[in-house]
Homo-oligomer: A and B are copies of this chain.
Amino acid sequence: MGEVPHVITAAPFTAVNMEPVFFRAQELRKLRTEDEGRLNNKREMAQAYVGRQAVNLFYQESTRTRISFELAEAAWGMGKSTTTEARKFSSASKGETLAHTVNVVEQYDPDVMVLRYDFVGGAAEAASLVKVPILNAGDGPGEHPTQAFGDSLTILEQLGRLDNLRITFMGDLRFGRTIRSLVYILSKCQNNHFDFVSTPDLSLSEDIKELLDSLPGITYKEHDHVSALTEVLPETDVFYVTRTQTNQGAPVLLNNQFRVTRATADLLPQHAILLHPMPIDRSDPSRSEIAPEVDEHPRARFYRQAGNCFYARMAILERIMEGKPVLEQAA
């Protein structure tokens, strides 16, 4: 059988070893939404893993990740039990440790555990304790590797490649776990250039900069003022924006210059795509990192990106249920 196929970090992900998931995710989308026999396909998929079970443990609020995992599990016919707001309302509120919780849940013989934790390292700790495959669904400001599958699939699908790209990241680069996971992937592809736009308080972590410094063929530049966008966006292929991760400990809000208006999005070339892992904060639309009018902008691919995360999760679950490693192994 080999090792347990945990998915904890995007660090080992490459364009090559992610390929089977990319391929299958695109196929699943077609089979479920475009194919003439789509309703039949959905029925057949829901008979695939009847009797297999998932436990979804969410210590932090989640909409996209939880709903898409729950629907992916149900789409394969799996049973499930989900804990939301585990920090507030589960035995964690009675002082139970993560270790005890996952050790107990393992006793119920689930086939996979999806874990969102509120501190870095939660998924890694769980994976060190149990033999059930752990899928990291976000560990505080740490990582979000299944999102990175969907993000990189969207780039591949829309631009045809993961290398030779100019990618501009803007927003909370320090506490945004999706950025860390995606940079791990794109930094291993040939000839990519990154522009990082943020305030000093929310700028890229030192360890990521050290990683990038160590990689030949990768270039990057940090910018602490939005005026840089005028220069970099016309050359950008992928513009990836995030909100301030106040719930992960970000100490300041980005000021309302670090936002995408129609004028900003118009700076992008025709072939470029604008991504955002969502949610987009609209509590004050005039400060939102994505101005409302940008939702309909021809560069925006937020929704497609969200859909790709769902199909990537279906593909990942399928490989786990089949006992296959999630990443293609070198021959």
| Complex Cα gap A288–B104 (Å) | 18
Measured between beta carbons, the chain B residues less than 8 angstroms from A158 are none
A68's closest neighbor in chain B, by CB? B108
Measured between beta carbons, the chain B residues less than 8 angstroms from A279 are 91, 94-96, 100
Given contacts A96-B282, A104-B303, A281-B95, contact A81 B74 (CB under 8 A): yes
A223 at the interface (CB under 8 A from B): no
A203 at the interface (CB under 8 A from B): no
Partner of A83, one of B67, B103, B110, B284: B67
B53 & A71 in contact (Cβ 8 Å cutoff): yes
A67 & B53 in contact (Cβ 8 Å cutoff): no
* Those of A49-91 within 8 Å (CB) of chain B: 50-53, 55, 61-64, 66-68, 70-71, 73-75, 77, 79-81, 83-86, 89-91
| Complex Cα gap A93–B247 (Å) | 10
Task: Report how many copies the assembly holds.
Answer: 3
B307 & A108 in contact (Cβ 8 Å cutoff): yes
Surface stretch bound by B, among A38-46, A115-123, A135-143, A193-201: A38-46
A94 & B46 in contact (Cβ 8 Å cutoff): no
A81 & B66 in contact (Cβ 8 Å cutoff): yes
A51 & B39 in contact (Cβ 8 Å cutoff): yes
| Complex Cα gap A94–B246 (Å) | 9
A303 & B107 in contact (Cβ 8 Å cutoff): yes
Measured between beta carbons, the chain B residues less than 8 angstroms from A286 are none
A292's closest neighbor in chain B, by CB? B97
Measured between beta carbons, the chain B residues less than 8 angstroms from A67 are 55, 81, 83, 105, 108
A283 at the interface (CB under 8 A from B): yes
Separation in Å of the A252 CB from the closest CB of chain B? 16
* Those of A249-274 within 8 Å (CB) of chain B: none
A17 at the interface (CB under 8 A from B): no
Of listed A44, A52, A89, A99, residue having the most chain B CB within 10 A: A89
Separation in Å of the A274 CB from the closest CB of chain B? 14
A96 & B33 in contact (Cβ 8 Å cutoff): no
Measured between beta carbons, the chain B residues less than 8 angstroms from A281 are 94-96
A161 at the interface (CB under 8 A from B): no
| Complex Cα gap A76–B81 (Å) | 14
A101 at the interface (CB under 8 A from B): yes
22 A-B pairs (CB sep. < 8 Å) = A44-B51, A53-B74, A61-B94, A63-B83, A63-B104, A68-B108, A73-B79, A75-B79, A94-B279, A95-B243, A95-B279, A95-B280, A95-B281, A96-B278, A96-B279, A97-B282, A99-B295, A104-B302, A104-B303, A107-B304, A107-B307, A109-B310
